[in-house]
Amino acid sequence: MKRNFLLDLLIGLSMAVFADKTAVPAAIYLQNLPGERVGEWTDQQIIADLQAQGMIVITHDCSSYPTTSPELETAILEWHRTLAGHLTDYDTDTTTIESRSMYFIPEGYTYRKVAVWNFVDHGADGSLEYIMRKYNQYVVPNLGRDSAFVYTDMLTRTGEQIDYNLYMDIIYPTGNASKQVPLLINHSSSDYRQNQTRPEAAKNTVYRTIFQLGCLTTGYAFANMDHCYNPVARDVVYKYFDDGYTLDDWDGLAYNTAGIRYLRSHMAQYNLSGKIGCMGISKAAYAPVRLANRMNATQGEHFNFNGQPNTHEQPWPGVPSTIDVAYAAAGNGTVRIPQYVDENTVPMITSAGKSDQYGHWNKYPAVVSHMNQIDHNYLSFWMEDMGHDYPCLGTDLCTGESRYVLFKRFFDRYLKPTEVDTTAILYILPKENAAEVNTRGESRVLASDGVLPENMLGIPAYEPVTVRYLYQVDTTNIAQKIQVLDANDQPIAGKWTIHMQGTCLRFMPDSALRQGQTYRILAGSTTRAFTITEKAEEDKDVKSTSFDVLEDAYTKVAKETTVRGAENVLKVRYSSYGDWKFYSYLKFAPEWGSIDVSQIKRAYIRLASASSPSATVVVNIYTADNAWSETTLVSTNRPTVASQSCGQYTYSGATTWNELEVTGAVRTAINNGQDTLSFALIAAYDNTEYANFVSKEGAAGLHPQLVVEEFLPDSPSALINPEKEKGRVTKRLENGQIWIERDGALYTILGVRL
């Protein structure tokens, strides 16, 4: 939702009084930490250095805190909640306390702010024009400024020339340290790079700081990078938040890769080991997603001004811009994972919260589904208890472990590999004290169905017995190294399968396990017991009912006057121009009479591939009204489409069949007595490759179908009338039952309606 510019402007002008004061940062210098001190300078040298940079320095003694993680970090953060009160000892002007930028600095470390990139020298052609357009659109008419014709014409509220630099804060060991350390980068989603440690933020989001604090207290360096903001949008300039607040899509890749090249060019200065991980939430999630691809140096920006790539020379050319591990949380970049994450991508964590105000919970299945499709080495956090936030100290429902601990374990593996046991286990399923484990050994790893997004794109809520390692494991003679044992310590026969680039082993027993019995997983010296509490849903028989498509067609969104209903293909494509944007439509007229809505396992539209795009295409599927016909469909009479999609599918063309889940829509249609059902296929934003499917006019055997899968009842049959005529099988009787002959008598399958 757009905010009112004039209101923001008034807020911004009211803050201008404090602009100079809020620019003075504070350093919280942590002394007597339990871990190894890294860095050469004395505390006196470091405090003098920080003060020389204009910082208020607050020393904090940590000697009484716990020595273990995350208890140490938690204790420091609890103290941080009270920090505003402590600041009065250093600055009597309380008007600046709540909004002051603050930095945690462990003993032996110091701080630098550096400019790593700027729009004038390094921005794509069109960037300055874009900034100027927003300046003339928002600033000139509201503040009486003169129109800008060149970038030097654009001024701040106080009449100074706008700063076109993008900055990095870095906290690192001092001097010629005997130990080089890994680096964690946080890509800021706020105008104030260090926003989460400001006292005003600490009241509510104090635990966001645990990631940087946990790394800084365990031998990491830390950097905070600017978001690729349009300079006009910054608080100290004019503070508007509209559709032009960011240039990430046009300049973000160039800027963020430059930041990595800068750090790799200055590893000796900052005592860095060369191992780099990065993270970002919300608008900042785009940076780790793009950097995570090892081929980022050869890739292009998400958008180009006038279709032209950036030809400006970039800083520190020839230096690698690769990283080792990434975390993208609930943002534009996370949604784009199906586009940018492939076999060249480093290990990655992703997350989404149920109460996310930007709808990322319902978008998250497409992210996880894509990771599963490419069998990526990843970790996902389904945060049913949180919103648009990092996971902080919450408990992961899947594993039963602290999300922060899992994050730290995962990042340490790739950034501090020499300190991690190569046989170490990340987690085991079923989790400790799992309450829902079925007769196939599968345990519930996701929240209840009422909490999860309606369309899970085939992602199961249950997962089999799993041993997830931090390192790729030697899978020779797996059954001898990892065993599932019964109550008598006898091995259970079954098959182990390998996933997530050799780090994940899953077990499927050859026969059903017994309800009420306790089993043990034995993996090296680690043991996990679990008890079977329920019957596996998959043990039930399933039947499928297929319905052929009644009508199908595609059309351009604008300027289409030719009817395409007789063509043998359905085209789907995104474009910013309506005459190059294609929607496809399908209409079904199912006979629901034989479908029991309470027994539906899943429903999906089955489409055959008709193209092989050079990049994957994310296709959204929506319900649509039925007021259309393939014999008349053009741009001007397209049907109305629902505001909320049924779900997403990532199309690659690599397989013959594609299954687009529509379970929720089918259940709703049956409950409402709806006998005609239409769908629209629409490519996600900026998916400019074609996703083409075979239409009903295409090759025989490849026509679109709506498929509904139902569970059959547990009781396979019941004797109804043994006196019925022998050998006769009747499909429909007065009572609506299916009759089957068995062993000379007639039976009916209970509960199946016709």
Q: What are the pLDDT digits (tens) for 453-464?
A: 888 888 989 999
Structural domain boundaries of the chain?
5-417, 421-539, 542-711, 718-749
Look at residue 171 and tell me whether its pLDDT is greater than 70: yes
Query: Average pLDDT, stretch 40-48?
Result: 97
CA dihedral 474, 477, 481, 482 (to 10 degrees): 100
Contact 236, 190 (CB under 8 A): no
Classify strands 738-742 and 705-711 as parallel, antiparallel or unpaired.
unpaired
| Beta-carbon contacts of residue 276 (< 8 Å; ≥ 6 apart) | 182, 183, 185, 260, 263, 264, 322, 323, 324, 415
Q: What's phi and psi for 160, nearest 5 deg?
A: -90, 160
The token duo for 600 is 């539906």
529 pLDDT higher than 80: yes
**pLDDT tier, 189 (very low <50, low <70, confident <90, very high otherwise):** confident
Quickly state the pLDDT bin for 635 (edges 50, 70, 90).
very high
Phi and psi torsions of 402, nearest 5° = -60, 130
Tell whether omega for the bond before 430 is within 30 degrees of 0, i.e. cis.
yes
Q: Is 739 helix (H, G, I), strand (E, B) or coil?
A: strand
Strand partners, 118: 165
What integer pLDDT is reported at residue 85 of this predicted model? 64
pLDDT band at 99 (very low <50, low <70, confident <90, very high): low
DSSP lists the bridge partners of residue 534 as 438
Look up residue 483 and give its amino acid.
Answer: Q
Phi (first) and psi of residue 661, to 5 degrees: -70, 135
Kindly report the backbone phi and psi dihedral angles of residue 713, in degrees, each rounded to the nearest multiple of 5, phi listed first: -60, 160
pLDDT value at position 742?
42
Does pLDDT of 740 surpass 70?
A: no
Convert the pLDDT of each residue in 382-403 to its tens digit. 999 999 988 888 899 999 999 9
238 versus 620: which is more confidently predicted?
Answer: 620
- The whole-angstrom separation of Cα 233 and Cα 227 is 11
Instruction: List the structure tokens of 87.
Output: 């600041």
Which position has the higher pLDDT, 542 or 183? 183
How high is the pLDDT of residue 207? 72
Overall average pLDDT of the 510-523 stretch: 95
- The pLDDT, as a whole number, for residue 737 is 44
Looking at residue 264, its amino acid is: R
Enter the tokens of residue 671: 């409950």
Inform me whether the pLDDT recorded for 349 exceeds 70: yes
Which of 177-191, 229-243, 626-640, 683-697 comes out lowest in average pLDDT? Answer: 229-243
Establish whether the linkage from the previous residue to 70 is cis, with ω within 30° of 0. yes
Distance CA 263, CA 274 (A): 9
Q: Render pLDDT for 534-590 as a digit per residue (tens, 0 to 9).
A: 988 756 678 889 999 999 999 999 999 999 999 999 999 999 888 999 999 999 999
Give the CATH number of domain 542-711.
2.60.120
DSSP conformation class of 593: G
Beta bridge partners of 380: 350
Residues contacting residue 734 through CB under 8 Å, at least 6 positions apart: none
Is the confidence at residue 142, as pLDDT, over 90?
Answer: no
Share of the chain above pLDDT 90, in %: 66
248-265 vs 127-134: helix axis angle to the nearest 10?
A: 120
| 686 contacts 302 by C-beta, under 8 angstroms | yes
- Cα 698 to Cα 228, 610, 691, 716: the distances in Å are 47, 10, 15, 40
CB 296 within 8 A of CB 253: yes
Q: How many CB atoms lie within 10 A of CB 493?
A: 10
The whole-chain average pLDDT of the chain stands at 86
561: its two tokens: 């006057």
Picking from 421, 111, 413, 171, the residue whose alpha carbon sits closest to that of residue 277 is 413
Most confident of 47-51, 131-135, 142-146, 160-164: 47-51
- Alpha carbon dihedral 29, 30, 36, 37, in 10-degree steps, equals 20
Average pLDDT over residues 508-532: 95
Between the alpha carbon of residue 716 and those of residues 111, 512, 726, 729, 734, the distances in Å are 71, 18, 20, 16, 21
Span 74-82, mean pLDDT? 85
Residue 241: what pLDDT? 54
Q: Are strands 551-556 and 518-523 parallel, antiparallel or unpaired?
A: unpaired
Position 205 pLDDT exceeds 90: no
The one-letter code for the residue type at 635 is S
Residues in the chain: 754
Question: Could you give the CA distance from residue 314 to residue 255 in angstroms, rounded to a whole number?
Answer: 9
CATH 3.40.50.1820 fits 5-417, yes or no: yes
Residue 141 has pLDDT above 60, yes or no: yes
- Considering only 512-521, 556-565, 742-751, which range has the smallest mean pLDDT? 742-751
Strands 582-588 and 551-556: antiparallel
User: What's the confidence (pLDDT) of residue 539?
Assistant: 61
Query: Token pair for residue 104?
Result: 């945690």
Domain 421-539 sits in CATH at: 2.60.40.3710
- Choose among 648, 542, 658: nearest CA to 600: 542
Per-residue confidence (pLDDT) for residue 183, from 0 to 100: 98
Q: What is the pLDDT of residue 714?
A: 54
What lies within 8 Å, CB to CB, of 130 at 6+ separation is 230, 244, 247, 250, 305
Alpha helices in 166-285 (DSSP H): 199-205, 210-216, 248-265, 267-270
User: Residues 6 or more apart from 10 whose CB is under 8 A from it?
Assistant: none
Distances (CA, A) of 119 to 129, 130, 151, 311, 577: 11, 11, 10, 13, 28
Looking at 89-93, 100-104, 287-291, 307-311, which range is the least confident one? 89-93
Beta-strand ranges (E) seen in 355-401 are 378-383
